[in-house]
Amino acid sequence: MSIVAVSDVHLGMRGAKEKDFIDFIEYIRHRRIDHLVLLGDIVDIWRRDFTKAVMECSKSLSILNDMLDETEVHYVVGNHDFYLLRMSEVLKDNFPFKVKKHEVIKDINQEFFFFHGYQLEVLCNPYYKSMKTYEAFSEHMCLAGDDAGNAAEMVWEEIQSKRSFWDTLKRFPSEPKSALQSMMEPPEKRIRNYHRHNVIEPIMELAAAKTRHFLLNVRPEQYLIYGHTHLAYVDDRNKVANTGSWGFGDKKDLEYIEIVDDKVKVKEFKP
């Protein structure tokens, strides 16, 4: 059996490589891969109108829809496309893909657990570790529908209206509005800035930890595959791998994970 996982294409944002992604989908389609896991942040609908974003990516999404007869397509939401989970719940069988927060696929002897990886960032957050709060924030960002960059103001006003709740939080950032604005920066600036946010190393440590199953849905014997950080790697010893990103921002490599006969490899697509 063959499994391909790709994440962080960020279609709809400036710098996204949609043409290359379309070529990649066609390549996967002709190879008749058994499972294609879209591991979150495929369509980027933060800080902009999600209707426009979906329409702009119609060619990519249409080709994905056309390959459903040959390949099982799994859509695992990321923080930047979290609202697709709600859309799939509303449209039910009319929505083309199964949309989930995580997916488990068994190859020969090994089970693979797929999730986007924002969950790891939340748990590594030094201020507040509520998954529910972060997912609510992500959904709000997908609904902001703002191309002009005023989404931070909208979220800040929402927080101010519920100030009594936020005042009860300990270890909350001294400048929450600045923290929100920082969260809304493009991913290659926010995630990959080691000195400002210091999230890469803690995320990798947590993903590889022997006790990760105490904090995450993954079971000890499962192999964890995630994205989010845009940093591809394979760590067979600790059963964890990252899909990298699709040439977004300062990265040029078009990266993905391929699993064949329980073997995990980082691959680079060359159009």
In the chain, the domains with their CATH numbers are 2-120+196-268 (3.60.21.10)
The predicted structure's pLDDT at residue 114: 98
Mean pLDDT of the chain: 83
Using 50, 70 and 90 to split pLDDT, how confident is the model at 148?
very low
Terminal CA-CA length for the chain: 24
Answer whether 49's CB lies under 8 Å from 15's CB. Answer: no
- pLDDT at residue 140 above 70? yes
φ and ψ at 257, to 5 degrees?
-105, 135
Using 50, 70 and 90 to split pLDDT, how confident is the model at 180?
low
Using 50, 70 and 90 to split pLDDT, how confident is the model at 149?
very low
pTM of the model: 0.86
The predicted structure's pLDDT at residue 17: 92
Assign residue 228 a region (left: φ > 0; alpha: ψ between -120 and 50; beta: otherwise). left
Strands 35-38 and 72-76: parallel
Using 50, 70 and 90 to split pLDDT, how confident is the model at 13?
confident
Mean pLDDT of 155-163: 54
- pLDDT at residue 164 above 60? no
> Which of 42, 54, 132, 112 shows the shortest CA–CA distance to 78?
42
Q: What is the pLDDT of residues 76-111, one digit of tens each?
A: 999 999 999 998 998 888 888 889 999 999 999 999
The predicted structure's pLDDT at residue 173: 52
